[in-house]
Amino acid sequence: MDRDQPPSPRPLPVFYQAVRARLKDILPILLALVGGFVIGGLIILAAGHNPFTTYFALLNGAVGDQYNLASTLGRAIPIMGCGIAAAIAFKAGLFNIGIEGQLVLGGLAGTVVALYFPPGPLAILLALLAALIAGGSWALLAGWFETQFNVPILISTLMMNYIAVGFTSYMISFPLIEPGGSRNQTPTLPEATRFAKLIPGSSIHIGIILIILAVILAAFIIYRTVSGYELRMFGANRQFAISGGIRPTRMVLAVMLCSGMVAGLTGAIQVLGVHYRLIDTALTLPSYAWTGVMAAILSNNNPIGVVIASLFFSAIQTGAAGMERATEVPFQLSYVVQALMIILIAVRATLKITFKRER
């Protein structure tokens, strides 16, 4: 051994290596969050308002009191469900942006069962099962289009959103219309076929437990099972995964089925726990599905990260109403800030890929 040669550095312990890897994943997200708020603050300043006052009003509107905090948590429930549905598909490299259609069909199927089946716990279980089948089948159809006819899932799911939303609106306005009531809603569900409230007077209901279970199950499958490893490999490099023995048709269909089932379940949970009836645009107008997609992108499709991102986006959207009342800054600013964050994440990912190719 050459005595003049300096000793090679010792490798870092596994724990520290894991921490460094996690920090590499988290740092771009934190920078995107800060960058979104900074650019948003500059926009507020250019409009003649105080950014610090505006953001304080936003924070107060989200968590300033018990009612605001409950509203933020309640709004986060459907966002989490849609985010998990999107993350499952995105992790496998399948761009399922048909979450909205799967959400409303799940809500429709759950409503039909809850209305026409004898009230009680069994009706709730059957309504949830119907929502799983409806949302999963609709997403599975898009997967079948890709595997059999080479129709990209990105295109098919986007187009199928319009079909699902239009069909649901028709069912609400005609076959399921409330007798003598509004034309844009179904009859009210029986009290025995509703989720109990965890916090009386709020939108936080027992359905949040189902969403949390979906998060835990998704995280366990993705990171702790052979199927999850295959899913991640399929999303990272499809050709390599196929050469390793993974069947692409089975993978695409299985992932789309699971993704759609979670979205459909979320729709039924929202009907059974919040509205107690299916109201036209009640699942689409708040943009639960698209906010869930943003949460999945922001968290790099990590189920636990989806929970945090969903709470974050929910807080922004809930606080925006209070911000508008207190400062006269329009609530649409919240959507600008969210979009800026996603753009910054996308730019960082694109630059990273370009840099690797140049090297």
- Dmax (CA) of the chain: 94
pLDDT exceeds cutoff 50 at 207: yes
Task: Say what the pLDDT of residue 338 is.
Answer: 85
- Its sign, for the CA torsion 337, 343, 346, 351, is negative
- What percent of the chain has a predicted confidence (pLDDT) above 90? 71
Residue type (1 letter), 1: M
pLDDT at 71 (0 to 100)? 92
CA 87 to chain centre: 7
Q: 50-100 pLDDT, tens per residue?
A: 999 999 999 999 998 888 999 999 999 999 999 999 999 999 999 999 999
Contact call for residues 95 and 143 (beta carbons, < 8 A): no
Domains and CATH numbers, the chain: 59-346 (1.10.3470)
% of the chain with per-residue pLDDT over 70: 89
Q: Strand locations in the chain, DSSP E?
A: none
Q: Model-level pTM?
A: 0.90
